[in-house]
Amino acid sequence: MNPLPLTFAPVLPWWVIAALALAVVGSAAVMLSRRLAVSGKTGERRSVLLRSAAALFLLAAALRPGWPGGDARTATTELDVFFVVDASTSMAAEDYGRAPRLDGVRNDITAIARELAGAKFALLAFDGTAGVRMPLSQDADALATAVEVLQPQAAVYARGSSVTAAGPLLGERLKAAGEQHPGRPAVVFYLGDGENTAAQPTAPDLGIDAGLVAGGAVLGYGSSQGGRMKDASGDGTYLRENTDGGARDALSRIDEGQLRRIADGLGVPYAHREPGAALDPALGTARPGTLNATQEGGGDRTELYWIFALLAFAAALPEPVRHTLALKRLRVRRPGGAA
């Protein structure tokens, strides 16, 4: 197996670190020669060597050595992320594995927020109408709470849902964010099943100006076979529908064609989600190119600077200990001092 190549991401220019290292070595050589000429004490030499070693270790840490790979998630503070979530009754359908679709939505929002840590997040939800569950904020705890309390609309209140109902509200929020922070990229993640139950004809997409969206993805939940839905009122019964053959359990089926039309309108990729599936493929083409500009040091890497920082601490530690002991000895020897 070939060893991983060591890479560097210095916090200062190379020439500055090199010049400082030479200065440390030079001053150490001068001090050692002078102290050898005066006293030649071993303790004095050790003190100079340890102080110099501490300085050199700190300079090595400033080079930020590391290996490619690892799990180094970088804060993307210059980014607005809009989650648009389908909260209609159909999201209670139990065909995300054997769990409700909304469970998959919660899991994916949590994973995306962790991947894009430091960004501002907004949560919009829709059924027959759309509303803001959380305005743009960097409060990760607030987002987690808002996602946790998301529930599908109770059937008793359902009057049909439109998968593009959130379009006007999302457009307003994107424009407001762009006016407040010009040039700041906005990413949209639409999470739903694509099933329309509105009585009126539905627009083919969200009607968003593609120039307002720098990236994102449409994530689809559900199956073509469909899933049964428990009533969100909490009584544990499954919703029923009347057919020619009598009453039976109502089924909801994903409409991937509709979801792809929404993705095309936003200019982002579509990905179908399954339990346990990695989110990386869905995010791979979802990130805008401007994201790289906000990530200092490039791609993921395993940082090793902390090793040199610990060595610097260890090398510097004997010095304050030595001075503390010397100060105590002086106090003991002082006239009137306690023996």
Q: What is the CATH number of the domain that holds 259?
A: 3.40.50.410
Do 123 and 269 lie in one domain? The reply is: yes
What amino acid is encoded at 174 in this protein? Answer: L
Cα separation, 286 vs 271, whole angstroms: 10
Do 65 and 183 lie in one domain? The reply is: no
How many domains does the chain contain in total? 2
Cα separation, 81 vs 116, whole angstroms: 9
Lowest mean pLDDT among 13-17, 187-191, 223-227: 13-17
Q: What is the span of the domain harbouring residue 22?
A: 7-69+301-333
Do 132 and 257 lie in one domain? The reply is: yes
What amino acid is encoded at 245 in this protein? Answer: G
**What mean pLDDT do residues 198-216 have?**
84
pLDDT score recorded for residue 291 = 47
Do 320 and 280 lie in one domain? The reply is: no
Share of the chain above pLDDT 70, in %: 77
- Whether 87 is covered by a domain: the verdict is yes
Answer yes or no: is pLDDT of 294 > 50.
no
Answer yes or no: is pLDDT of 181 > 80.
yes
Answer yes or no: is pLDDT of 1 > 60.
no
- Whether 203 is covered by a domain: the verdict is yes
DSSP state of 186: E
Do 45 and 86 lie in one domain? The reply is: no
pLDDT averaged over every residue in the chain? 82
- Is residue 5 a contact partner of residue 293, using CB atoms and an 8 Å limit? no
Helices (H) and strands (E) in the chain, counts: 9, 13
Do 199 and 58 lie in one domain? The reply is: no
What amino acid is encoded at 220 in this protein? Answer: G
- Whether 74 is covered by a domain: the verdict is no
pLDDT score recorded for residue 292 = 42
- Comparing 336 with 282, the larger pLDDT belongs to 282
- Is residue 301 a contact partner of residue 67, using CB atoms and an 8 Å limit? yes
Q: Which residue has tokens 């003190």?
A: 47
Do 156 and 271 lie in one domain? The reply is: yes
- Whether 338 is covered by a domain: the verdict is no
- Whether 1 is covered by a domain: the verdict is no
Do 238 and 287 lie in one domain? The reply is: yes
Do 53 and 173 lie in one domain? The reply is: no
Do 259 and 329 lie in one domain? The reply is: no
For the stretch 48-67, pLDDT in tens is 888 889 899 999 998 888 87
- Whether 127 is covered by a domain: the verdict is yes
- Is residue 206 a contact partner of residue 164, using CB atoms and an 8 Å limit? yes
Do 94 and 176 lie in one domain? The reply is: yes
- Is residue 57 a contact partner of residue 312, using CB atoms and an 8 Å limit? yes
Do 149 and 205 lie in one domain? The reply is: yes
Answer yes or no: is pLDDT of 243 > 80.
no
Answer yes or no: is pLDDT of 266 > 90.
yes
- Whether 247 is covered by a domain: the verdict is yes
Tokens read off for 129 = 């109408």
- Whether 75 is covered by a domain: the verdict is no
